[in-house]
């Protein structure tokens, strides 16, 4: 069931979203060549708890760490480890932060050090595709407009769209109805003012096809080429949307 949030619920989600944003800023300020992905996990875990919030990915369906860190050909759900970040790595950070009973979910991708133009364009265009999708959002619009806009933009840039993983509603739970695909689908869902959703394109340089690693979490591209991921939690407004995981 797709729910409409009250103003007081949206205010709680804004607080969760702001801590999520601040945690991303903290990670951005520390991210560097030579660090392990575990160190990023510790920085985020400490920062989130210091703000009285909970890193809700920890123990979510058995997930073993507080954040997801996905490097290069890892699309999403990379598990922090003693893996060292190298020059030119594409590092996606996905954070879920719970505060006062409400969730927030946001992802960003960084290039650490130097990378080819192709890889820089991948990251830049994946972020742009998120805003292309969001530009369709307003009360009364069909949900499929978001995915169609993302898919058209990605293809115009020669990038492929991961299909197995999609955005989602969010609120008291990290994952709520509706699904928010990054490609066109037939759907009856009409966006309404007060709906809170996560839009999260995952775009690949090469094939759209993915597989799951032996750890049963990490999703990787089949051809080993890089992938990027951007995500915001938003609330639908009468004429547009408001980002809850921003400044
Ligand atoms: N943040 C992810 C999403 O965008 C969910 C991560 S669940 C975890 O939906 F368990 F892998 F952390
Ligand atoms: Co996420
Ligand atoms: Co999400």
> Mind listing the pLDDT tens digit for each residue in 178-227?
999 999 999 999 999 999 999 999 999 999 999 999 999 999 999 999 99
Q: How far is the CA of 108 from the centre of ligand 1 (A)?
A: 13
Q: Which pLDDT band, with edges at 50, 70 and 90, does 42 fall under? A: very high
> Mind listing the pLDDT tens digit for each residue in 133-170?
999 999 999 999 999 999 999 999 999 999 999 999 99
Query: At residue 140, what are phi and psi to the nearest 5 degrees?
Result: 100, -10
Statement: the pTM of the whole predicted model exceeds 0.85:
yes
- What are 149's two structure tokens? 């806009």
How far, in Å, CA of 158 to CA of 146, rounded?
A: 19
Of residues 180, 175, 198, the one with CA closest to residue 107: 198
Q: How far is the CA of 231 from the centre of ligand 3 (A)?
A: 7
Domain ranges of the chain: 7-243
Task: Tell which CATH classification among 3.90.230.10, 3.30.1360.70, 3.30.565.10, 3.90.1330.10 matches the domain 7-243.
Answer: 3.90.230.10
Produce one character per residue of 124-141: b if its CB has 16 or more CB atoms within 10 Å, e if not.
ebbbbbbbbbbebbebee
Pocket test for ligand 1, best of 63, 106, 130, 229 (most atoms within 8 A of CB): 63
Ligand 1 atom closest to the CA of 198, numbered from 1:
4
Sheet with 74-76, edge to edge strand ranges: 74-76, 219-221, 210-212
Closest residue to atom 3 of ligand 1, CA basis: 105
Closest residue to atom 4 of ligand 1, CA basis: 105
- HEC states along 54-113? EECCCCHHHCCCCCEEEECCEEECCCCCCCECCCCEEEEEEEEEEECCEEEEEEEEEEEC
Pairing label, strands 196-199, 167-169: antiparallel
Q: How far is the CA of 42 from the centre of ligand 2 (A)?
A: 18
Ligand 1 atom closest to the CA of 60, numbered from 1:
10
């Amino acid at each position: 069931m797709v729910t409409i949030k009250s103003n007081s619920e949206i205010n709680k989600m804004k607080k969760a979203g702001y801590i999520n944003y601040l945690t991303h800023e903290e990670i951005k300020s520390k991210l560097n060549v030579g660090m392990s992905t575990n160190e990023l996990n510790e920085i985020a875990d400490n920062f989130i708890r210091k703000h009285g919030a909970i890193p809700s990915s920890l123990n979510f369906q058995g997930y073993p760490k507080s954040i997801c860190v996905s490097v290069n050909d890892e699309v999403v759900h990379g598990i922090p480890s003693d893996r060292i970040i190298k020059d030119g790595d594409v590092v996606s950070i996905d954070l879920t932060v719970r505060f006062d009973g409400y969730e927030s979910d946001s992802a960003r991708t960084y290039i650490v050090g130097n990378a080819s133009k192709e890889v820089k364009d991948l990251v830049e265009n994946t972020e742009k595709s998120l805003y292309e999708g969001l530009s369709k959002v307003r009360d009364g619009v069909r949900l499929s407009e978001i995915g169609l806009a993302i898919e058209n933009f990605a293809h115009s840039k020669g990038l492929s769209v991961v299909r197995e993983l999609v955005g989602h509603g969010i609120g008291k739970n990290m994952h709520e109805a509706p699904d928010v695909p990054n490609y066109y689908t037939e759907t009856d869902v009409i966006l309404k003012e007060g709906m809170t959703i996560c839009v999260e394109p995952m775009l690949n340089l090469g094939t759209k096809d993915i597989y799951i690693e032996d750890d049963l979490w990490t999703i990787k591209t089949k051809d080993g080429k890089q992938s990027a991921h951007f995500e915001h939690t938003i609330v639908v407004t009468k004429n547009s949307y408001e980002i809850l995981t921003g400044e």
